[in-house]
């Protein structure tokens, strides 16, 4: 329930929608939310009736940030990526079988794609960031992930079936960065590149999104090189942290 509330972003969600997404009855959902609110983990916006992250989550997050947060060392890298490409740039982190968007920096091009914002979650392999991370996991981890999630094609379309997904993963490995040509939102385009831990595990990803006519073949290779250079820079920074 906490994940559902936080993934809704700044606008929050009504109890009926949270119940639907959690596959719970409305009374059960309301009881859970009331208990979480009592502990300060969620809050209710009275005018809208929407549930949002609570103040206790912020306090917990500040404690955990000392160990897990890379946003401070990544912020100027994400900003540089947006400035260099003029597209919206993002940092996402892997959490289990999902990616979570941590940072967004707007590019200067006036027409934008609004697929991602801070707090949005996608299954691995769906958005370009998650595809980039999944492509560089060990093969047995990829196999196990695809076995755990046979619903991907039904939820996200035929391009997320096992055969298509494996083809996209191979292409990502060969290219070095992932492509998402409007597979989530028609007319948008995404690129993603994995960022690695000191031990060489793909834990984060930098990505770019924009409108599809900005990602033609001639410009795509240039954007890919720029994205990979920034991902390498961030990987190096993370590896040097004490």
Determine the 3-state secondary structure of 192 from DSSP.
strand
Q: Which of 134-138, 206-210, 236-240 has the lowest mean pLDDT?
A: 236-240
CB atoms within 10 A of CB 225: 12
Decide which of 206 and 186 is more confident: 206
pLDDT of residue 109: 66
Q: What is the pLDDT of residues 108-122, one digit of tens each?
A: 765 555 566 778 889
Residue 238 CB contacts under 8 Å (≥ 6 apart), including other chains: 70, 73, 195, 196, 197, 198, 204
Decide which of 135 and 198 is more confident: 135
Q: Which domain holds residue 45?
A: 2-63
81 and 167, same domain (yes or no):
yes
31 and 86, same domain (yes or no):
no
Q: Is the pLDDT of residue 67 over 80?
A: no
107 and 36, same domain (yes or no):
no
pLDDT of residue 17: 93
**CB-neighbour burial class of residue 33 (10 A; exposed 0-12, middle 13-18, buried 19+):** buried
147 and 186, same domain (yes or no):
yes
Tell me the pLDDT band of 79, cut-offs 50, 70 and 90.
very high
58 and 85, same domain (yes or no):
no
Mean pLDDT value across residues 113-132: 84
Q: Which of 14, 34, 63 is at the close of a domain?
A: 63
- Domain with 76 in it: what CATH number? 3.30.450.40
Across all residues in the chain, what is the average pLDDT?
Answer: 89
**In angstroms, how far apart are the furthest CA atoms of the chain?**
55
In sequence order, the β-bridge partners of residue 196 are 202
Q: Which of 63, 92, 112 is at the close of a domain?
A: 63
- Domain with 32 in it: what CATH number? 1.10.10.10
45 and 117, same domain (yes or no):
no
164 and 219, same domain (yes or no):
yes
CB atoms within 10 A of CB 201: 15
53 and 173, same domain (yes or no):
no
Q: Is the pLDDT of residue 60 over 90?
A: no
pLDDT of residue 212: 85
How many independent structural domains does the chain possess? 2
48 and 134, same domain (yes or no):
no
Q: What is the pLDDT of residues 205-219, one digit of tens each?
A: 999 998 888 888 889
DSSP state letter for 10: G
pLDDT of residue 97: 92
Q: Which of 37-46, 51-60, 90-99 has the lowest mean pLDDT?
A: 51-60
């Amino acid at each position: 329930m906490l994940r559902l509330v936080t993934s809704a972003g700044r606008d929050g969600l009504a109890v009926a929608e949270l119940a639907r997404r959690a596959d719970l009855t409305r009374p059960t959902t309301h009881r859970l939310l009331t208990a979480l609110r009592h502990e300060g983990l969620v809050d209710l916006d009275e005018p809208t009736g929407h549930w949002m992250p609570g103040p206790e989550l912020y306090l917990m997050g500040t404690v955990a940030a000392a160990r897990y947060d890379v946003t401070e060392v990544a912020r100027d890298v994400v900003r540089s990526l947006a400035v260099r490409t003029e597209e919206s740039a993002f940092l996402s982190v892997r959490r289990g079988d999902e990616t979570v968007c941590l940072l967004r920096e707007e590019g200067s091009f006036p027409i934008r794609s609004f697929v991602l914002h801070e707090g949005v979650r996608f299954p691995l392999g769906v958005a370009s960031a998650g595809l980039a991370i999944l492509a560089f996991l060990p093969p047995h981890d990829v196999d196990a992930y695809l076995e755990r999630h046979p619903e991907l094609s039904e939820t996200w379309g035929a391009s997320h079936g096992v055969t298509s997904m494996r083809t996209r993963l191979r292409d990502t490995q060969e290219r070095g960065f992932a492509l998402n040509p409007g597979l989530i939102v028609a007319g948008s385009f995404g690129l993603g590149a994995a960022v690695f831990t000191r031990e060489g595990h793909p834990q984060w990803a930098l990505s770019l999104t924009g409108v599809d006519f900005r990602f033609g073949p001639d410009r795509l290779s240039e954007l890919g090189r720029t994205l990979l250079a920034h991902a390498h820079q961030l990987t190096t920074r993370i590896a040097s942290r004490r």
